[in-house]
Each structure stands twice: as C-alpha cells, then as structure tokens.
Amino acid sequence: MKAVIDTNVFISSFFGGNPRRVVDLWKTGALTLCLSKEILEEYVEVFNRIGLEGSLELKELLDLFSSAPNILFTSNTPEIHAVPDDPDDDKFVACALALEADVIVTGDKALESVGSYRDIRISNPARFLADFDKEGVRS
C-alpha cells in the first residue's frame, strides 16, 4: 500500500499513539511512503522549527528517507487545487496523484475534510489504522 503521510502525523509520531503506529508501518515495510521535494522540505522545516534541528531523531529520520527501500519519490507533481481551505496542503494530494498513492494520512482538518480525491482516500490516523487492520493489507 502506498501512502502520503502529512507532516503533522510525523510530528505527532514522536509522542506515540496512532501517528506512531502509522509511521511504524512505514518503517517496518508494511507501507510505501510517497514523498515529493516539497513534502520533504516541509518535514525538515517543521522539525527544525520545533527544535529538532541537529537532533538524533531528525538525523535517524533523514537517514531513513535516504536509505529505506520502501520510499517512492517524485520531483514531478501536477499543479492542482484540491484543498480550498488550505492550498498549502495541495502538495500532499499532488504527490499522491503523481505516485498513484492509495491514501493520504493526515491530522489536518482542512485536508481531511476533502475526504478523497479521485481514487485517493484521505484519512486521519485512527480511521486509516482501522481500515488497514480490517482490510488485512500488509504490503
């Protein structure tokens, strides 16, 4: 299963709960993480802003981004306008479209309110995990 994981889910994963379970699915290879240059830049910028600059946690995450086999990366995303309440979130939908992701996992209300875009589900971590467990999807 291919997933775009919103920045807020990565940040929240440091504190445990469902966001950590989502990120752990990627780390263990149960999910393929879909990334674009814009998403990766936002991850790093937000991690630095919240004080993780130079931290072991950020270094480990960046190492995973550069070495994990279960990552797809695109530098060619379509220009879309899918999230009217927060156009900055369009980058997550554009990445999902470019890499034919199955789902976008987010804690952002504006992005989540879109519900789906074409055949891409947009879900919060709890609903995504419930669907993931129910569907028995493991790759």
> Running along the chain, 139 residues long, what does each successive block of 10 average in pLDDT?
96 92 94 95 89 78 81 93 94 97 97 95 97 69
Give the total number of structural domains in the chain. Answer: 1
Query: Which pairs from 14-21 meet CB under 8 Å and 24+ separation?
Result: 14/57, 17/125, 18/125, 18/126, 18/129, 19/107, 19/125, 21/125, 21/129
- Looking at residue 138, its pLDDT comes to 42
Residue 104 maps to which CATH number?
3.40.50
For residue 137, the model assigns a pLDDT of 52
Per-residue pLDDT at 55: 78
Predicted confidence at residue 14, as pLDDT, reads 84
Res 78: pLDDT: 92
Q: Tokens for 113?
A: 């309110």
What per-residue confidence (pLDDT) applies to 82?
95
Residues of the domain holding 129 = 2-135
